[in-house]
Structure 1
Amino acid sequence: MSQTLAALLKRQTDAQGPGKASPFATAVDGLILLRSDHERHPSHHIVQPALCVVAQGAKRTTFGGRHYEYGAGQALVVSVEMPALSRVVKASPSEPYLGLAIEFDPAVMRDVLACLDTPRAPAMSHGNVGHGVFVTDFEGPLADCVLRLVRLLDTPKAIPVIAPLIMREICYWLLVGPHGNEVAKVVLANSHAERVVNAIHVLRDQFSETLRIEELAAIAQMSPSAFHRQFKALTSMTPLQYQKQLRLLEARHLMANGAIHAEAAAYRVGYESPSQFSREYSRMFGAPPRRDAATLKTA
C-alpha cells in the first residue's frame, strides 16, 4: 500500500515543476502533499489537528519533551493544535521523502462520533486527558481512504462531491480504530480534553497578552493545578512553554516576511524585555533574531 501511495505522491509532486518547495496545497481542502529529496534540518511550525502519513522515507517530530519517529507505512495523528519541531530524517534524490497531511475538521469529527453505535463517553469519565499525539500503522481501510483521496486529484470535477465523503470515512476509521478514544477525547463535548482544547484556543488567540493560569483554568472548568497537569499531559508542554513557542514563531514570521526589526517584533508578540526575547529566540532557533531573520529572507 505504501509503495502505491508513494508512486502517486511522486507523480503528483513531480507535476509541480522544478524549483517548487514542499508543502504543496491541493484542490482537496485539507489535503497537503509533502516531499523532500534530502534530509532536512529541524524546522519549527504549528501543527494543526491532522493525519500525517509517510509513504516513503522517515520523519521525526517533537512536541515539548516527547519525540515521535515514523516511517513508510506509519502515520502520526495529531489531535490538538500544537507547536512542533519536525525533521525529515530519511530522504535522498533517488528515494525522496514522500508523505501527506490531512487536516481534521472538528465539526465533521464530532458528527461522525455522534453516529457511532457504541459511544465513547464512558471511556471519558475519568479525569485523564491522555496524549494529543500518537503514531499508528497505516494500513487497512484507513490506507484505502487516503489512496482514494489522492487519486481524486486526477479527476477535479469529482472532488467537491466525493472528497467530503472520504474525509468522513477517514474520521470513522480513526474513531473506531485502536486509538479511537484518544481522538474522541478531544472532540467529545464537555470532556476534560475538549475543555482544555477550548482554553488552548483562547491562549492561541491571545498569546501576546500576560498569561493567567487562573483564567485559562476557569475556561477549562478546572482548578489551576489540575489544568496545568492536564494541559501538559495533552500537549507535552506547560501553558507557559506553549505560549512562549507561539510568541517566538510569530515574531520569526513577522521578521522574515516584513520590514519589522527584532525589537519591534518582540514588543508585538508580548515581550517587555528585548534582551529576554533575544535569549529565548536564540535558544529556540539556534541564532540571534537579526541573523536568523536575514538567513530566512535570503533563503
Structure 2
Amino acid sequence: MPDTLAHLVKRYTDAQPGQGPFDTPVPGLTFLRSDHRKHPSHLVFKPALCVVVQGAKWTTFGGKRFDYKAGQALVVSVETPALSRVVKASPSEPYLGVIVEFDLTVMREVMEGLEAPPLPTVNVQHGVFVTHFQGNMADCVHRLVRLIDTPQAIPVIAPMIMRELCYWLLSGPHGSEVAGLVLANGHAERVIRAIHALRDQFAEAVRIEDLAAIARMSPSAFHRQFKALTSMTPLQYQKQLRLLEARHLMVSGAANAESAAYQVGYESPSQFSREYSRMFGAPPRRDVATLPPAAA
C-alpha cells in the first residue's frame, strides 16, 4: 500500500537533510532513520512511545537491555540516560522509527475521564517496557503521521489523536504500568520528583540523603526504588547526565574538554577524562573529533 507507515516515514525522511532525528510539523512527533547498522550511541530518553516501523534496535538502561523490532514499540515512562543501537538496517531497507512524546497533562486528563481507570502499580517497577505495536495504537500513530500532508489540520486534529492514543495505552494490557509510571502515582511519583531535582542540578554535588528527603523515603529505600525504576544508582544517573552534557558542549563548540569538565561539575580534569573514556570509548578530544556537528 502506498500509504503504509514505512512508506510515509521513508518519503518524509528522503526529503530531509542530515541524518536525523527528524522533527515534523506535528508537535511531539519525530522520525528516526538509519541506512546502516550503527555503533551504540548514548542519549537521554524522555517519556515517549518509541515505535520501530522497519528494522530493529536495542536499548540499554543501566544494566537492563530491551530488544525491539518492526511491529514493536518501547514505552519510556521516566527521563533516563540510555545506550541505544540500530542492529538491522540497510540502504534498501533502512531502519525507520517514530517517536511520540507523551504529554503528561493530557495523559492525566484522559485517565480522569475513564469510567474504570487502571489501578496504578504501587511499587516502583522499571520505567520502560516493550509492547506490540498493533490495533488501535498503531492506527493512532498512522493517522498522526498522515497529518503531515495536511498541515492546516494539525492544530485541530493532532491533539484529539494524542488523547485517543493515551486512551488506548491506559486501557491496554500495560495500563497499570502506564498509570503508575507515566502518571507518577505512589512511590514512583516521589522517586520521579527526586529524579527531576537531580536532572536540574546534575552539576552540583549530590547527597543521597537530600534526594531521599525529596522522595520522602529513607536513604536505603530510595536507593533501592531509584535503581528499580532506572536500572542505575543515583550517582550513575548523575554521572551519565554530566558526561552527555559535556559531550554536547564540546561537539557544539561551546567548550573545550577542560572547561566542559568544570561546567558539568568535575573538579578534576583527569577524573573527567577517565570517566569520559570509560563511557564513550575514547578520550574527550579524540571522541569529539570523530563526531559530526549533528551529534550535539
- Per the alignment, residue 247 of structure 1 pairs with 242
Matched, 1:149 2:144: yes
Aligned counterpart in structure 2 of residue 265 of structure 1, from 260, 266, 269: 260
Report the alpha carbon displacement of residue 277 of structure 1 after superposing the two structures with TM: 0.7
Say if 2:34 and 2:94, in contact at 8 Å, map to a contact too: yes
Q: CA distance change for structure 1 residues 298 and 138 in 2, over 3 Å: closer, same or farther?
A: closer
In structure 2, what is the Cα distance between the partners aligned to 1:161 and 1:298? 35
Correspondence 1:105-254 to 2 at 5 A: 105-121=103-119, 123-124=120-121, 126=122, 128-188=123-183, 190-254=185-249
In structure 2, what is the Cα distance between the partners aligned to 1:135 and 1:297? 31
Deviations 1:239-286 (A, max 9, x none): 000000000000111111125221111111011111111111000000
Question: Letter of the aligned partner of 1:229 in structure 2?
Answer: R
Say if 2:251 and 2:293, in contact at 8 Å, map to a contact too: no
In structure 2, what is the Cα distance between the partners aligned to 1:116 and 1:155? 31
SS of the counterpart of 2:291?
helix
What is the TM-score of this pair, normalised by structure 1? Answer: 0.94
In the TM superposition, structure 1's runs of 4+ consecutive aligned residues that sit over 6 Å from their partners are none
In structure 1, what is the Cα distance between the partners aligned to 2:185 and 2:8? 40
Question: Letter of the aligned partner of 2:283 in structure 1?
Answer: P
In structure 2, what is the Cα distance between the partners aligned to 1:291 and 1:267? 19
Say if 2:59 and 2:83, in contact at 8 Å, map to a contact too: yes
Question: Letter of the aligned partner of 1:101 in structure 2?
Answer: I
Say if 2:144 and 2:161, in contact at 8 Å, map to a contact too: yes
Report the alpha carbon displacement of residue 212 of structure 1 after superposing the two structures with TM: 0.9
Question: Letter of the aligned partner of 2:232 in structure 1?
Answer: M
Say if 1:54 and 1:100, in contact at 8 Å, map to a contact too: yes
Question: Letter of the aligned partner of 1:62 in structure 2?
Answer: T
SS of the counterpart of 2:37?
coil
Question: Letter of the aligned partner of 2:265 in structure 1?
Answer: G
Root-mean-square deviation (CA, aligned residues, Å) is 1.6
- Per the alignment, residue 98 of structure 1 pairs with 96
- Per the alignment, residue 40 of structure 1 pairs with 38
- Per the alignment, residue 61 of structure 1 pairs with 59
- Per the alignment, residue 73 of structure 1 pairs with 71
Q: Percent identity?
A: 74
Matched, 1:84 2:82: yes
SS of the counterpart of 2:98?
strand
Say if 2:118 and 2:176, in contact at 8 Å, map to a contact too: yes
In structure 2, what is the Cα distance between the partners aligned to 1:240 and 1:81? 15
- Per the alignment, residue 287 of structure 2 pairs with 292
- Per the alignment, residue 11 of structure 2 pairs with 11
SS of the counterpart of 1:296?
coil
In structure 1, what is the Cα distance between the partners aligned to 2:117 and 2:229? 22
Question: Letter of the aligned partner of 1:115 in structure 2?
Answer: G
- Per the alignment, residue 256 of structure 1 pairs with 251
Deviations 1:150-190 (A, max 9, x none): 00000000000000010111111111111111111124465
Report the alpha carbon displacement of residue 297 of structure 1 after superposing the two structures with TM: 5.0
Question: Letter of the aligned partner of 1:56 in structure 2?
Answer: Q
Question: Letter of the aligned partner of 1:73 in structure 2?
Answer: G
In structure 1, what is the Cα distance between the partners aligned to 2:234 and 2:293? 33
Report the alpha carbon displacement of residue 65 of structure 1 after superposing the two structures with TM: 0.3
Say if 2:107 and 2:183, in contact at 8 Å, map to a contact too: no
Correspondence 1:10-29 to 2 at 5 A: 10-16=10-16, 19-29=17-27
Structure 1 residues not aligned, in runs of 5+: none
Question: Letter of the aligned partner of 2:132 in structure 1?
Answer: D
Question: Letter of the aligned partner of 2:76 in structure 1?
Answer: V
In structure 2, what is the Cα distance between the partners aligned to 1:297 and 1:169? 38
Deviations 1:209-262 (A, max 9, x none): 011111111111111111111111111111000000000000111111125221
Deviations 1:74-115 (A, max 9, x none): 000000001011111000001111111000011111111111
Question: Letter of the aligned partner of 2:147 in structure 1?
Answer: L
Say if 2:118 and 2:171, in contact at 8 Å, map to a contact too: no
